[in-house]
A and B are shown apart, each in its own frame.
Chain A
């Protein structure tokens, strides 16, 4: 593994008050290197979304440190926090979260214009990312005029266009049919390989997870297992994931 982009060391997240504490994240440590495509799997309530929220600074940790490019982000406040989000992170949400008053182009350019980038530069970068994600022809359309797959690709373009250190994807295929899921995941894999984007994806779906290079399994707020794809084909990797999932006792998925 090369230099780590993300280092999570010994974080905990508790909910509730004295006498009634839920440990959503219980002493998790992990590390993600540059250009990795890491999946986090776990059943509902295992703490995977809480973990992602802590990394994305949407939520705060109870204890522990999260380093992004060597900088502790758990102590960031106010302006630094928003600067961190727009410069270092890219988000892909389950329900796309595009602004429906804006066109696809404007949704993507917004991520750049809030960082104060010049109009000329914005146009160039939007066109480049649109070509890479094959959405050039829908740029002038509004979200409600596009299919779900197109919307999610626009959302991915928005996440990628700022060249973030880390792309966080929260169940990105959750609202897509299997064909669109397939396309989106191919695209994420491509982004990872060609543009060497670092992607951290949370999912409960084994098929989606099988696109990752490495998978961390979480159960009851702790890391339960870790598997690498290595030289295995995606199909073989999927079988391996299914095995772990059955041990975990989570839901199964017979697609593949």
Chain B
């Protein structure tokens, strides 16, 4: 038989083993392609601000990330390859025993790898192309961009990158295989299936102290992060210490905790000697200990995945929701009275070559005052639970706007004016973080004293208008609307120019002129917010970051699930004779498959539990940083994460259990036919 024939026959004969390998490869290729084609996504590319960002900093970030993804994928593929090799060691041994040259065997194995590799590369690219279209639609939806922009994209650069990268990975795999084949001993090949697993740690005291040490490591790293923050700092290396402690703690945890639990279960004879518990705990105990590194890696990847998806989705949803309502003007220019003085903002802008007469359809200047009453006074007696970024707010004086200025702002938005009696006030608030406190203040309030003027509430509900356009989601925390005479007695805080553009003007031109003014705000006192810039910034750079978060999360999740699945399939393949023996001894199939299910469930759930604990801690920390960066509150949304995990992780879990069950049943049938 020629080598070529042997290769093809081998692939066809081992189709089931190769299936797992093939699927892993295909998914990896498609994910890698989709990742690298992000840069050509029209949804993200059409946004003005992102174009510039993408070209420099984000381009670097993306290529760095794609290297990370490639390395992780290479690790996964090598792992899958090892599984394949392990299953076929006996076959390899027989070839050697029959006197086939090692070179020839190596060529056969390399040929098989190549065969499957090419197939999966082709299928992976097709799948990747579909996946990237799906991602495109998903991102369009997520960031509320016009669906008509959708078009099918094909990224040549991503294609080249993917092919190049995977050819390299396949080469590494081939070299690895050839080396394994030529260096391995015949005796090991033939008896590979029956190797004993030895418990490394049998001393009870050592077990318990190691477990305690692992928990100590994890907790102390948590304390360090709590104290010094989750970002690496240039001044000290606490972050690095925390990471090392966490990694060591996790590895130690997986190393020792199984032994501790096993000892505990063994001590309780009632549980230990019930059903297949003896068998099950031995199986798990000896395996967790030999595979603690894999478990730690899986745990770490899962934690990253949970954090990535949760923070990403939460930010996206918050941005999507808050940005809809809060951009009623085209341009706001805010003048700080303390620095700029009492000025006509439009006149100042004209002196800086920004003539609103040319650009603006309508302009209006309004003022905001600061009351002596603080937010703390308003919220007095209430059980406060303010968001992290609002922790200073109780000391800040409440904003005040006069009724005529407020109506002018409404008119600029094309809304009908409101009326207010001479001895009344209203409250405006559209900020979720304070709305409930403002609301309950109004419920109980009978009158306020504003610099000597006594005013009664004119309504029991706060209004939800936007007076001033700030960064998205960061709006009115509560502003008194008072009669003009009441406002006149207060200290003016800021003047605001509200501008609506004429249709069809060049907004970029205004922006270019505004940027230098904005940069001098510390000396000149003028700041601006511009609608297109705001939405571009949020839909663009932030959206892209969010997108990457989700993407990385998803890639890592898939990798974890595939890794665990492969691992369990390998174990079951190795242990299939044990299950066969249990059946011969008369174990109920329900009991037997119950044990199999429990075993797989434990391997899937335990790293997830630990990762869940890490992320519960991490999400809060990361969200706080994102909040600071975006200057808005993000309500954590883990619903999508849970759903995604249920689908991907749960799907892999069920598929793994079913194939393991199939393997055990197949063995049973095989025996009947002998």
A interface residues with partner B (beta carbon < 8 Å): 56, 58-60, 78-79, 82-87, 89, 91, 97, 99-102, 106, 109-116, 118-120, 122-123, 142, 144, 158
Contact = CB atoms under 8 A, between A and B. Distances in A.
Nearest to B282: A101
Interface stretch (B74-82, B85-93, B218-226, B586-594): B586-594
16 contacts: A58-B584, A79-B588, A82-B586, A82-B588, A83-B586, A86-B586, A91-B584, A97-B581, A99-B279, A101-B578, A106-B282, A109-B273, A109-B278, A110-B585, A113-B278, A114-B582
Given A85-B585, A101-B282, A116 B275 contact: yes
B35 to A, nearest CB: 41
B576 to A, nearest CB: 13
**In the complex, the 7 A-B pairs of residues with the closest C-beta atoms, listed nearest first:** A86-B586, A85-B586, A119-B269, A101-B282, A119-B273, A119-B270, A82-B586
Interface string B579-609: 0011111111111000000000000000000
Looking at chain B's contact residues, the main secondary structure is helix
A142 B195 CA distance: 13
Given A85-B586, A97-B584, A101-B286, 5 more contacts: A83-B588, A101-B578, A102-B279, A110-B278, A113-B275
Nearest to A159: B585
Contacts of B591: 114
Contacts of A114: 275-276, 582, 585-588, 591
Given A101-B283, A119-B273, A86 B587 contact: yes
Given A82-B587, A87-B586, A110-B279, A60 B194 contact: no
A122 B273 CA distance: 8
Contacts of B277: 113
B353 interface: no
B344 interface: no
Nearest to B278: A106
Interface of B: 194, 196-197, 269-270, 272-279, 282-283, 286, 578, 581-591, 671-672
Contacts of B279: 99, 101-102, 106, 110
Contacts, number: 89
Contacts of A123: 269, 273
Contacts of B587: 82, 86, 114
B100 to A, nearest CB: 28
A79 B671 CA distance: 18
B588 to A, nearest CB: 5
A115 B587 CA distance: 8
Contact of A58 (B278, B578, B672): B672
A100 B589 contact: no
A89 B586 contact: yes
B274 to A, nearest CB: 6
Contacts of A78: 589
Given A58-B671, A60-B672, A101-B282, A111 B272 contact: no
Contact of A102 (B269, B275, B282, B590): B282
A84 B587 CA distance: 10
B584 to A, nearest CB: 6
